[in-house]
Amino acid sequence: MKVNIINSSNPLWIQTLEQIPHDFYHLPGYVDLEATRTHAKAEAILISDGEQIFFLPYLWRDCDDLFADTVEIFDVISPYGYPGFLLNKSAASTPNFLNLAMKELIKEWRCRNVCSAFVRLHPILNFDINQVKNEDLFMLNGETVSINLEHEKSEIWHQTRGDHRNKINKRKREEFSAKMVPIEEYINEFNAVYEETMDRVGASNLYYFGVEYFAKMREALGDKLHLCMVELHGEITCGGLFTECCGIVQFHLSGTKSSFLKQAPTTLMLDYVRFWAKERGDRVLHLGGGVGGTKDSLYDFKAGFSKERQTFFTLRLITDEEKYLHLVKLRAKYMNIEVEKLLNTNFFPAYRSNG
């Protein structure tokens, strides 16, 4: 097998994506943007064997921000969202290829002093991971919701839960209107609504992006990024960022003004976007799941739009047990808890746990 580590400016990155169905999470511009936000380095690993291709973008982090004596120890995480790995048609149809590629991946990262990797898989593109013999590598994190846009409009509407249909119809009668708008003109308004929502739900700093980030995201994704806003008599009530890539539309980020919470204008927004996407020939609108993969109120809201479900897995690799345990011991000492207790938490990697 041939292994290449490539940076985002390498033409091989785009050339590889041109051969494989992918999502916006895999685009070099987006991974670069996330690398800047998280103070990491954008990279991808390309593993090939003849016509068979495995491709995985990721963020490369130095662990020296954790402890003073962690020189030359690194870890890997996914950019925000559901990136996962990509397989071309030949690789996907070869039973043992993914298993062998995973072994090469671990070997390569270990040689480069990576002690762990946390990768969120793509619920649609990584729907079948049964090829991998070591099932302990993957953890079931929950369930996500999607809308099959290849259904007839009547079937899409039929799968919509009754309370959602009532809200959609009522908002239309009240003259709420949804539309796609130029991102450059509405970016400040969207950020204000989004941050108001994050304040309301008590979100961590991880979920605050800012106007500059959204502007750079627009530059990176171009016409693959769309902004939908819902207004009532000229006043913005909610907004959402949606991406469109290879027939997959992602419900990326959204926010609702607190004064319009009872009216739930997001129901009208998603109703509008699903039929907008269908008209454009897209095949699926992925709504995502609940916070942290749980079946919470957010999941319940999304589940009201469709009966389609996907399993959401994460890949949790310890590529160098000695270095991993070294960092865990340092973290346990800092937190004044037992090493075993830290290792038994659900947080991965354990040495980045805040308790």
Domains of the chain: 2-133 (3.40.630), 145-311 (3.40.630.30)
Non-local (6+) Cβ contacts of 73 within 8 A are 62, 63, 64, 113, 115, 323, 326, 327
- Catalogue the long-range contacts made by 13-16 (C-beta closer than 8 Å, 24 or more residues apart): 13/44, 13/57, 16/44, 16/46, 16/53, 16/55
Confidence at residue 129, expressed as pLDDT on a 0 to 100 scale: 65
Please give the structure tokens belonging to residue 355: 């308790």
The position carrying tokens 């491709």 is 55
d(CA 118, CA 20): 23
**CA angle centred on 320, ends 314 and 325, rounded to 5°:** 90
Q: Give the closest residue to 322 by CA, choosing from 104, 65, 110.
A: 110
Q: Which amino acid is at 183?
A: I
Confidence at residue 294, expressed as pLDDT on a 0 to 100 scale: 82
Confidence at residue 134, expressed as pLDDT on a 0 to 100 scale: 55
Confidence at residue 190, expressed as pLDDT on a 0 to 100 scale: 98
Confidence at residue 132, expressed as pLDDT on a 0 to 100 scale: 57
Using 70 as the pLDDT threshold, list the residues of the chain that sit under it: 69-70, 128-136, 355
d(CA 124, CA 128): 9
Confidence at residue 47, expressed as pLDDT on a 0 to 100 scale: 98
Confidence at residue 260, expressed as pLDDT on a 0 to 100 scale: 98
**Phi/psi of residue 100, each to 5°?**
-70, -40
Percent of the chain with pLDDT over 90: 86
